[in-house]
Structures are given as structure tokens and as C-alpha cells.
């Protein structure tokens, strides 16, 4: 589903990624690790199509609308409620039975009671839960998750553990994390980024 | 696209940040012009109406992509499987709605302070609104990614909006306004097509 060869990314004169090789098949689960500034987020953004590589090959065997991207930010409007944000994304992604799917996700991620609250009033952990709802809303085939456990409390992290186990199957995962041990039960492949010089 | 435009109107209804500022700005400008002009200077007044509209629109355009900049929402919209130019069109419609609402106050205020407005002036304003929002929305999306966004937008927008001032003032003061209105319509068409075609490249690196 993802095939990268000699992938390189520069921002001006600064080289962020260098000679990255990556293969993630359907049903595959790859974990990207590396120190701060090693290019984990950049790699995920390249795979999402949010940035273009400077050189190298990057092939994605999935349409844009079948990608679920969880970034550092929640990608939701602060002035809209949780329900309104998900409804907007549901419309953009043409999610079938949108209301039912949104209700189910809000319930599952413990946000149902806060569904009419504006995202701007959410704590960092609640925002991360909302971002996870947004990411999973359209049942994507490829999940690109950048530090998905960030800001989650113990309950939230345990919930995400269960979700990842449940979601694994036909989907492909590329997860950037500082805590690969947490994902060990999913038997992932490791992509270690050392940071380009 | 309708969902995106509706979302922008809802955000403004909740935040009330852009529209009140645009209204206060245009009224303050017209009052200042009223005191700045002396005697019979109707041609100059017509020019000032267009300057007021342009700068008020610029104020709104500067805020157009602020909600998307917060929380990185533009990435979320870009990833959606719809045509990326629909983001531009949705934003254009919302900005156009704000501008029209402001003009519902500004045009009667102008008529009160200076002179009655002719039908051709109102037609020119309607045509100019489309051009201002088409070009301005594209440039606002460009500027929002830049560090010096507050400086960049006026620097990009004002030169490209000069033909609107030429067409607008011409339609307001000329006996035969037809060719100026045609010029504004052509400007709208050309820049709407250009903005539609290029927006995707603006929002994706």
C-alpha cells in the first residue's frame, strides 16, 4: 500500500529525510521511530500527500479519500462543537449513515456527553479523542498516525490500544511514536529514522 | 462546497470577529472621507467609494483562513476526497456574503454622506464583489502559509485589484457604463477560472 524508495525531503537547505526505504502492505503495521527532528512527521505528511518529496519514489496504493491522518493538531474548528466538526468531515468524505457512525464513534471515545461543546473548550486529551474520531470516521484503508497516544490519559490510551487491535486486519498502519513498546503486541515492523545530516 | 460555506457563516455567527470589524471600518472610512472632501467633488467621492470597498474587503480577506490556520484544519480539508477547489469556492461564497452584508450598510451610508447611487454603480459593485472575492480568497490562502501573512496579502492583492478600481470608477462616472461593466465581468471570469485552476497548488506544498 505504501512503497518508498530513496525518499528525500529538504526544506530549503535543510535535509529532513534521506534515503528512506519503506514498504507497508495491506494489513501491515509499521512503526516509525527516531529522535526529535528525525523526520517522522514529515514522512507521514509525505505519505498523506500533504507535502511532496524532494527526490525519490513514493507510491501509494490508496486513494486520497481512503487515508486517515492523525497529525499533531486535531484538524478541527475550535468554534464548532464536536458533533458539528464530525458532521462537516462526514459530509466532505460522504460517509454513509453519517449520523449513526458519528454517534457510535463519539460514544466509543467517551465524547458523547460533550458532543454539543465547542472543540475550543476541550482539554488536550479530549481534542485527541475527537481527532481520533475524525481520523476513523470514514473507515480509512490506510491509517497514518502521528503520536496517537499523545495527551491521552490511561483510559484513553487503553481504549486506543483496543481500537488498534480491532482495526488491524485489512487496513495498513504507519504510526510515528516515541513509545514503540506500547505497540509491541501488534507485532509491527520498525522503521528507524536517524535524522538526515 | 455548500457545507464549507455554511461552516464559515456558522463560525462567524459564533465568533463575530470579521463582520463587525468590517462594518465599523467601512463606516469610519466613509465618515473620514466625508470630512476630507470639501465642496463639489463628486468624481473624487466615487473613487473613494471604491477605495473603501477594496480596503474593507481586504480586512475580511485577512481573516478568511484564520480558522483553518488554527488547529491545522486546512490539512484536514485538503485530505478530503472532494475537489480541492471546492475549499476556495466555499470560502469565496462566505467572504462574498460578508462583503454584501457590509455593503448593505456602506452603500446607503455613502448615498447619505455624498450622493445618490445610480443603478450602474450598484451593478458595478455587484460585479466587483465577485472579482475581489475570487482573487482575494486565492491570495489569502497563499498568504496564510507565510510568516509575514499580514504584510503579504495587501502586497499581493492591491496590485491585482487595480483593474477592479479602474472598472468600478469608470462604471460609476462614465456616461456609457456598459464597457466598464463588461470589463468587470471579464475580470471576474478570467480570475475565477485562474483561481479555481490554481487553488490546489496553493494549498498543497
At B34, is the pLDDT very low, low, confident or very high (cuts 50, 70, 90)? Answer: confident
Q: pLDDT over 70 for what percent of chain B?
A: 97
Does any CB of chain B come closer than 8 Å to the CB of residue A124? no
Does any CB of chain A come closer than 8 Å to the CB of residue B13? no
CA-closest candidate to residue A167, choices A149, A142, A188: A142
Domain extents in chain B: 2-204
- Rounded Cα distance, B54 and B22, in Å: 11
DSSP B70: G
Q: pLDDT tens digits, residue range A82-137? A: 999 999 999 999 999 999 999 999 999 999 999 999 999 999 999 999 999 999 99
At residue A141, the 3 state secondary structure works out as coil
Q: How much is the pLDDT for B88?
A: 92
ipTM: 0.87
How distant is the Cα of A130 from the closest Cα of chain B, in angstroms?
Answer: 12
Does any CB of chain B come closer than 8 Å to the CB of residue A98? no
A contacts of B79 (beta carbons < 8 Å):
48-50, 64, 67, 69
Going B154 to B156 to B159 to B164, the CA torsion angle's sign is negative
Nearest by CB: B71 against A78, A89, A91? A78
Nearest by CB: A92 against B72, B80, B204? B80
Q: Sheet holding A14-24: strands in order across?
A: A14-24, A2-11, A55-60
Angle at B109 between CA B105 and CA B115, to 5 degrees: 140
Domain extents in chain A: 1-62+170-197, 66-140
A contacts of B81 (beta carbons < 8 Å):
63-65, 92-94
Strands A172-176 and A29-33: parallel
Q: pLDDT tens digits, residue range B111-142? A: 998 888 899 999 999 999 999 999 999 999 99
Is there a contact between B82 and A72 if contact means CB atoms under 8 Å apart?
A: no
At residue B23, the 3 state secondary structure works out as helix
Q: Is the pLDDT of residue A197 over 60?
A: no
CA-closest candidate to residue A129, choices A165, A105, A101, A98: A105
A contacts of B76 (beta carbons < 8 Å):
69, 75-76, 89, 134
Over residues A165-182, the mean pLDDT reads 87
User: What is chain B's Cα-based Rg?
Assistant: 17
Q: How much is the pLDDT for B11?
A: 85
B contacts of A69 (beta carbons < 8 Å):
75-76, 79
In angstroms, what CA-CA distances link B157 with A155, B79, B100, B172? 50, 27, 19, 22
What CATH number should be reported for the domain whose range is A1-62+170-197?
3.40.50.300
Q: pLDDT over 90 for what percent of chain B?
A: 61
Q: How much is the pLDDT for A112?
A: 94
How distant is the Cα of A99 from the closest Cα of chain B, in angstroms?
Answer: 15
Chain Cα centroid distance, residue B114: 22
Q: How much is the pLDDT for B3?
A: 83
Does any CB of chain A come closer than 8 Å to the CB of residue B147? no
Mean pLDDT across chain A, nearest whole number?
90
Residues shown for chain A: 197
Mean pLDDT across chain B, nearest whole number?
90
Over residues A58-64, the mean pLDDT reads 89
- Rounded Cα distance, A7 and A178, in Å: 22
At residue B37, the 3 state secondary structure works out as coil
CA-closest candidate to residue A176, choices A35, A82, A14: A35
Q: Is the pLDDT of residue B82 over 90?
A: no
Longest CA span, chain B: 58
For residues A100-129, b (16+ Cβ closer than 10 Å) or e, as one string? ebbeebbebbebeebbeebbbebeebbbbb
Is there a contact between A77 and B67 if contact means CB atoms under 8 Å apart?
A: yes
Q: pLDDT tens digits, residue range B158-188? A: 999 999 999 999 998 888 889 999 999 999 9
Does any CB of chain B come closer than 8 Å to the CB of residue A166? no
Amino acid at each position: 500500500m505504501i512503497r518508498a524508495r530513496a525518499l528525500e525531503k529538504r526544506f530549503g537547505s535543510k535535509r529532513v529525510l534521506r534515503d528512506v526505504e519503506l514498504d507497508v502492505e495491506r494489513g501491515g503495521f509499521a512503526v516509525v521511530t527516531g529522535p526529535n527532528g528525525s523526520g517522522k512527521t514529515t514522512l507521514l505528511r509525505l505519505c498523506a500527500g500533504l507535502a511532496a518529496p524532494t527526490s525519490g519514489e513514493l507510491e501509494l496504493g490508496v486513494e486520497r479519500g481512503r487515508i486517515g491522518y492523525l497529525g499533531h493538531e486535531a484538524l478541527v474548528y475550535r468554534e464548532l462543537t464536536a458533533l458539528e466538526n464530525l458532521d462537516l468531515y462526514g459530509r466532505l468524505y460522504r460517509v454513509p449513515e453519517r449520523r449513526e457512525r458519528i454517534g457510535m464513534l463519539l460514544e466509543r471515545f467517551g465524547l458523547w456527553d460533550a458532543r454539543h461543546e465547542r472543540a475550543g473548550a476541550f482539554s488536550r486529551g479530549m481534542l485527541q479523542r475527537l481527532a481520533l474520531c475524525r481520523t476513523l470516521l470514514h473507515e480509512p484503508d490506510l491509517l497514518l498516525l502521528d503520536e496517537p497516544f499523545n495527551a491521552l490519559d490511561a483510559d484513553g490510551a487503553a481504549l486506543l490500544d483496543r481500537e488498534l487491535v480491532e482495526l488491524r486486519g485489512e487496513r495498513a498502519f504507519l504510526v510515528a511514536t516515541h513509545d514503540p513498546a506500547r505497540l509491541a503486541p501488534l507485532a509491527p515492523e520498525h522503521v528507524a529514522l536517524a535524522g538526515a545530516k | 462546497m455548500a457545507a464549507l460555506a455554511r461552516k464559515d457563516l456558522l463560525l462567524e455567527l459564533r465568533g463575530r470577529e470579521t463582520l463587525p470589524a468590517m462594518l465599523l471600518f467601512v463606516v469610519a472610512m466613509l465618515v473620514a472621507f466625508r470630512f476630507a472632501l470639501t465642496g463639489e467633488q463628486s468624481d473624487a467621492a466615487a473613487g473613494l467609494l471604491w477605495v473603501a470597498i477594496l480596503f474593507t474587503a481586504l480586512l475580511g480577506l485577512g481573516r478568511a483562513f484564520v480558522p483553518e490556520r488554527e488547529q491545522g484544519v486546512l490539512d484536514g480539508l485538503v485530505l478530503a476526497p472532494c475537489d480541492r477547489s471546492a475549499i476556495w469556492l466555499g470560502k469565496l461564497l462566505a467572504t462574498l456574503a460578508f462583503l454584501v452584508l457590509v455593503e448593505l450598510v456602506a452603500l446607503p451610508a455613502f448615498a447619505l454622506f455624498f450622493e445618490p447611487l445610480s443603478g450602474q454603480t450598484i451593478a458595478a459593485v455587484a460585479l466587483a464583489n465577485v472579482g475581489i472575492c475570487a482573487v482575494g480568497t486565492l491570495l489569502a490562502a497563499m498568504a496564510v502559509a507565510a510568516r509575514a501573512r499580514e504584510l503579504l496579502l495587501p502586497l499581493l492583492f492591491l496590485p491585482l485589484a487595480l483593474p477592479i478600481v479602474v472598472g468600478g470608477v469608470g462604471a460609476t462616472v462614465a456616461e456609457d457604463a456598459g464597457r466598464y461593466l463588461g470589463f468587470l465581468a471579464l475580470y471576474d471570469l478570467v480570475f475565477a477560472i485562474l483561481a479555481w485552476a490554481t487553488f490546489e497548488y496553493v494549498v498543497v506544498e
